[in-house]
Amino acid sequence: MFNTLQDRLSATFKGLRGKGRLSDSDIDAAARELRVALLEADVALPVVREFVAAVRERAKSPEVQQSVNPAQRVLDIVNEELIAILGGEARRIRLAKTPPTVIMLAGLQGAGKTTLAGKLARWLRGQGHQPLLVACDLQRPNAVNQLQIVAERAGSAFFGPEPGNGVGDPVDVARRAVAYAREKQHDVVVVDTAGRLGIDAELMQQAADIRDAVKPDETLFVVDAMIGQDAVVTAQAFLDGVGFDGVVLTKLDGDARGGAALSVAKVTGRQVMFASNGEKLDDFDVFHPDRMASRILDLGDLQTLLEGAAKVFDQQQQEDLTNKFLSGQDFTLEDFLGQMQQLRKMGSMSKIFGMLPGMGQFREQIESIDERELDRTQAMIQSMTPAERRDPKILNGSRRARIARGSGSSVSAVNDLIQRFTEAQKMMRSMASGGMPGMPGMPGFGKKSRGKAQQQKKGKGGKQSRSGNPAKRALEAQQAAQRAAQAPGLGAGSPFGGDGAAAPFELPAEFKGLLPPGGR
C-alpha cells in the first residue's frame, strides 16, 4: 500500500546523504518533496501541513546542523513525526472489570466488518479469551449466515437468533446476546452491526440505539484503508454521530495509496488499534505506529518478523536441531523439510522479505517470487525414502528419476534441490565449527579477526606468497593446518571452506529458486 510513498521518501533522503552540512535550501527542498509525497499518498491536507512544518522546524535546529550525519538525523526526525501522526504508541483493548467485555463494530458497508469480526475473535482466542460473535446486521442479505461461517472458521461461539435479510430487531438481539454471554461464561462479546453505502440518519440512529442498549466497553470504527481521504470524512461523521474509541484499518494489503492510515488517527484523535492486511483470519494484529513508520521509511519491521517466527517455530524442535549440530551430526533433508514447513507458517515469502530493511529496492524481484516453488520442493523431499532423506549421497540416477516421477517434477529439478541442500549442509557445518567465513563483516559470524602480522598477502600470480625464512614457512604451514582442522569435511575453495576465502553473500537455501532469473 505504501510503495509509492516509500519510493518518494527514499529518493528524498538519497539526495540528502553525503552532505556534511544541510543548508536551509536543502531542508526546504526536502520539505517540498515530503509534502508532494504525502499529498500523492492521499493524506489529508491539514495533516500534511502540520507534519511538514514540524519536520522543517526541527531539521533547521542546531542539533541537526551540528550533527556528524545530518541526513540521518533528518531521517530520525521524519520517523518520529510519522509515529506521532500514526498515534504515538499501540493501544490495547480495555477489558471490563466484570465480564463480559462488549466490543461494538461500526462502519460503512463494504469496509469488512463481518470478516474483521472473525479475525478479532480469532485473535482474542489466541489471547486466552472466549469470544461470542453476535449478528446484529439484519439488513444486508445473508449477513447472518456469513458471520456464522466466519465464527466457525475462527473457532468462536456464535449468537444469531434472527434470520436477518430485513427480519428482526438488532437492538433486541444485542441486548439478549449480552445476557447469553453472561450465562454461557463468554468473557468477550463482539457485536457486528449493519452498515450503509454512505452516512445517513437511519444508520446513525441504529448504531446509537445498539450502543445505548449494551453500553460497549470499546466501540471500534472499521475503515477501509483503500478509500483515501474519504475515510477521514466518514470517521469524523461517525465520531460526531455515534462516537467510537478506536479505529481498525482493513485492506492494508491493497494497492491504494494509504492516506487513511496516515490521517484518521490525527484528525479524529482516536488511535488505530488493529490492522488487517490479508484475507486469512490470521492476517490481523495490533497496530504499532513505530513499526508502521519503519515500514514506510523502508527500515524494515524485524520485531514483527521475530514475533511471527516465535509463534510458528517449535522451540523444542529448534533446541533438538541445535544439539544435533553441536554433537557433530549432519543437517539432513528431514531437517531441511521441517525448517521449510515452519517457515511457510509465517506467511508468504514476499511478506517475510518485505519486513527486512532496505527491501524496497528489490520490490520487483520480491513480488515475482514463485510461492509454489516451496510446494514443489516439499513434494520432492516427501517422495524420498527415509534413508534417502538421511543420506542424499545414495541418490543415484534411477532414484532421482523415481523421485521426479513421484513429485511430478523433472530430474533437473531434483538435481537442483540436492545442490541447494548440499550448500545449506555446508553452511550448517561451518556454523557448527565456529563461524561462517563466507559472510565477512557480519557481526556474530566468522572467526575472530587476525592481526596484520598473521594475514598473508597475495602475490602477482594470485597465489599466497611464502616467506623465505624456513622457520617462518613451517609456522605458516602449521597455522594453515590448524585452520583447516577447524572446518572438517570442507575442501579448499568451498564458499564456506576453512581457507577463510570471502564468498559473495547468498540467500539461505530455502529461499533459492524462488527469485526470478537474475534476481539476487
128 annotated among ligand-binding-site residues: no
What is the CB neighbour count within 10 angstroms for residue 61?
12
How far, in Å, CA of 400 to CA of 517, rounded?
24
Give the whole-angstrom CA distance, residue 239 versus residue 245. Answer: 9
Half-sphere exposure of 148 (CA within 13 A, CB side): 11
Rounded CA-CA distance 64/43 in Å is 27
Q: What cell numbers appear for 449 in the block?
A: 579477526
Q: Does 110 show up as a binding residue in the annotation?
A: yes
The annotation status of 196 as a binding-site residue, yes or no, is yes
Residue 135 CB neighbour total at 10 angstroms = 29
In angstroms, the CA 129 to CA 392 distance is 47
Residue 250 annotated as binding?
Answer: yes
Residues 6+ apart with CB under 8 A from 278: 253, 347
472 among the known binding-site residues? no
> Does 108 belong to an annotated binding site?
yes
333 is in an annotated binding site: no
Distance in angstroms (rounded) separating the CA atoms of residues 493 and 442: 20
Q: Is 109 annotated as a binding residue?
A: yes
- Report which DSSP code applies to 361: G
Q: Any binding-site annotation on 228?
A: no
Q: Is 422 annotated as a binding residue?
A: no
Q: What are phi and psi of 299, to 5 degrees?
A: -100, 5
Estimate the crossing angle of helix 411-432 against helix 333-344, to 10 degrees.
90
Residue 258: how many CB atoms within 10 A of its CB? 25
Residue 193 known to bind ligand? yes
268 is in an annotated binding site: no
Distances (CA, A) of 135 to 107, 138, 140, 192, 207: 15, 7, 11, 6, 13
Beta bridge partners of 158: 133
The type of residue at 15 is: G
Retrieve residue 237's grid coordinates. 461523521
The 3-state DSSP class for residue 106 equals strand
Cβ neighbour number for residue 14 with a 10 Å cutoff = 10
Establish whether 122 is an annotated binding residue.
no
Q: 302: annotated binding-site residue?
A: no
The pairing of strands 218-224 and 157-159 is unpaired
> Is residue 102 within a helix (H) or strand (E), and if so which, with residue range?
strand 101-106
235 carries a ligand binding annotation: no
Please report the DSSP string for 35-92 in residue order. Answer: HHHHHHTT--HHHHHHHHHHHHHHHTSHHHHT-SSHHHHHHHHHHHHHHHHTTSS---
Q: Which residue has the cell 472473525?
A: 118
| Residue 457 in marked binding region | no
Does 385 count as an annotated binding residue?
no
Separation CA 283–CA 277 (nearest Å): 5
List, as residue ranges, the binding site.
107-114, 192-196, 250-253
Known binding site for GTP: residues? 107-114, 192-196, 250-253
